[in-house]
Amino acid sequence: MRHEQILQLCVEGSYEARREALIRNVMSVDDVEYDAAEETVTEIANERKRLFVFEYLPYHTGMAAALGGGLISFPMIFHGDTVLWFNDKFVTTDVPDMKDLETFLEVGSFSWSWMEPIVGQVSFVLLVLQFARSQAINLGLKPYGDKMMSKRSKRMIKKYPQYDPMFLDWFARSEAMYSRD
């Protein structure tokens, strides 16, 4: 493939093209054949991934909290024993007759009086956070992911100053934790 085509694909965000452009840059700078340059780029890729666990920790934490909260909400609203325990320990509202708690929907109707404000407030906070993030992006402020990629890019350029900073920047920004390589 011609260099111009690879550069166009790099600008469009293609990971494969960015890797290929970096391989060709390594070939030129180090005066080596394709296979040796490919090994060097693999080392660069491994260095790029070295801090992925820490860089992506906020995403993993958020995902775990969201999934955990979502899963916990079902027994907190619909499971009779859990609802009665939570009411006894934290809410202390009057419990209806047991004949009115025979189905999960009846239990949900009873628990909803205290669960609705919690679920509603959490939903509203998430909505406001999404709106605030979109406004920050509109203002040109970089959310965490962009800052993380920028730091990763600077780290790669500092560690490999002999290679073209544009190719290293593109390569550093083109990969997520759970893809390729």
Which pLDDT belongs to residue 180?
Answer: 55
Residue-averaged pLDDT of the chain: 92
DSSP character string of 107-127 = HHHHHHHHHHHHHHHHHHHHH
pLDDT in tens, 118-155: 999 999 999 999 999 999 989 998 888 888 999 999 99
**Which residue blocks in 32-143 are alpha helix, DSSP H?**
34-49, 52-55, 57-78, 80-86, 104-138
Which pLDDT belongs to residue 71?
Answer: 95
Q: Which pTM does this prediction carry?
A: 0.72
- Provide mean pLDDT across the span 28-49: 95
